[in-house]
Structure 1
């Protein structure tokens, strides 16, 4: 293990992405030290408990503003002294203060090959656009939606029989292998961010980060 491997995960729902991160933790150098949710009924909190990871829920409905909620959330996150904060199905718009506080230490995974198809409904958007491929991107979080520096991407070919639902299922499989790998590469120091430029092993990458083909994502490390 490295000395900079402490990870806090934020989620709002069932926690399938968290489960993938926890299941692969033994293969990598990160350690999930805390899981927080804005929804007390999020099943992801139960997943954390079963894995022996500390968890906490803060109901955002009890706070008069987004800013006050985020300030309280930041206190609890900082208590874990995280080296990386990971959004895993966290369905809240983040305040400017929150994003600034964790600048360069806050990542998200988005179901598209950024900069294509930002926002919601990316699977249908890719089909409507007639794209030949679709995929997923891990990126650092900035105030602009889905616009931070891309760390890593994985892509698959869109088939004639694909629907938004089948495409989502196929991309989710890739996400559950891509995200743990990206987390590991960041906390281990292989991935670095400087002046919005991503480097892998001290070699600058292009604007779409490190690209992993569908055929190798499960086995490549």
Structure 2
């Protein structure tokens, strides 16, 4: 028997980690994984010379434009993320996976569903730029990185944000503006049924 797969993605600073913690508890997910954790593990195996995209933030410029540079940070994590998902599927476990290193797609969810499990993809977003900036500024209290690190790259973050929303809409993922949705947990719970 295959369990449930819930994938929560969104640009930096939209509240993925906060909502993931609430959802995992409320919906009793057995396993929770973060793409940041996968990235940290891979960084110990692949040096900056071998895989430079692995050693920079998803929004830091690398010379190809915000979207292509973001996609370049996804590529080295793809096999690791797929391995985490496949392991949960084989074991019949529930899995909640969250992170910025996920491009919303049919394949990610459809493979799980084809194996007999329930799957839902969620793109968290904040349409209002000023609200997004406020959320990023407030995250410094909860994150070891300076808010300035994010705010200096807000243009790139917003381009990635818009691309994630576009891909999520195109591929049938649940889109939740965390500043407008009164009950994001309820919306996810309904979508998981």
TM-score (norm 1): 0.34
Instruction: Give the greater-gyration-radius structure (CA).
Output: 1
Structure with greater proportional strand content: 1
- Higher RCO structure, 1 or 2 (CA under 8 Å, sep 6+): 2
Higher helix share: 2
